[in-house]
Amino acid sequence: MRRGFTLVELAVALALLGVLALGLSLLLGQMARGSQEAQEEAQLEADLQEIRARLTEDVLRSTAFTCTGAQATLILPSGIVTYEVSGGRVLRQGQPLTELSGYGGSFSCSGPTLTLTLSRGSAALPPIRATRRVGLSVTSGSGLSQDQVPYQENSGKLGGEGRMWTNSPGATKAGRRCGSRGCG
């Protein structure tokens, strides 16, 4: 006698197979969304790094700048450079610095510091601040020696290298302040 599958057994097997297929498709969809979110997060970080590097470099070289809401104008020795937040992108000289869109924000100027406050969607992003170099010189009768003149160190990295500068005639070496006797 031949024994086969009954119609009920076949229906139960197909129902179980359907549930497994549905679970697998939901899992794969969730993994795809997670991967897309991770790629978007990585691109957001890359966008912010590019904006920070370009803005910091231009502000450091600028002799003056002005801010009017969504636009900043910097005067560099080589000419005028404009930054703006427009159409959901951050632009430098009309060219996008960002791969992603959906950005909003504004520029503000306070003394030698230019600040870009950005958001993307409903999320506020950390502000990007860049400070213009202000030269100091030690003159006789000022009461200051070269070792007392403050200096600044850039905490960001531009072009893959940390850049340091000093406001006095001394130099810097490995993050240390060098006085009139040089670096030891």
Question: What pLDDT was estimated at residue 62?
Answer: 92
Over the chain, what is the mean pLDDT? 78
Residue 117 maps to a domain: yes
Rounded CA gap, 130 and 149, in Å? 21
Number of domains forming the structure of the chain = 1
Residue 105 maps to a domain: yes
Q: Which domain holds residue 124?
A: 37-139
Other Cβ atoms less than 10 A from the Cβ of 86: the count is: 14
pLDDT of 92 > 50? The answer is yes
Closest CA to 56 of 131, 160, 111: 131
Q: Look-up: residue for tokens 């670096």?
A: 183
Residue 90 maps to a domain: yes
Other Cβ atoms less than 10 A from the Cβ of 168: the count is: 21
Residue 178 maps to a domain: no
Residue 159 maps to a domain: no
- Give per-residue pLDDT as tens, 95-131: 999 999 999 999 999 999 999 999 998 889 999 999 9
Question: What pLDDT was estimated at residue 54?
Answer: 95
More confident residue, 4 or 103: 103
If pLDDT is split at 50, 70 and 90, which confidence band does 42 have? very high
Q: Give the chain's length.
A: 184
Residue 44 maps to a domain: yes
What is the per-residue DSSP string for 72-95?
A: EEEEETTEEEEEEEETTEEEETTE
Question: What pLDDT was estimated at residue 147?
Answer: 45
Cα–Cα distances (Å) from 158 to 29, 133, 162, in that order, read 39, 15, 6
More confident residue, 184 or 8: 8
Residue 2 maps to a domain: no
Residue 101 maps to a domain: yes
Cα distance between the two ends of the chain:
99
Q: Is 121 left (phi over 0), alpha (psi -120 to 50) or beta?
A: left
pLDDT of 153 > 50? The answer is no
pLDDT of 69 > 80? The answer is yes
More confident residue, 181 or 77: 77
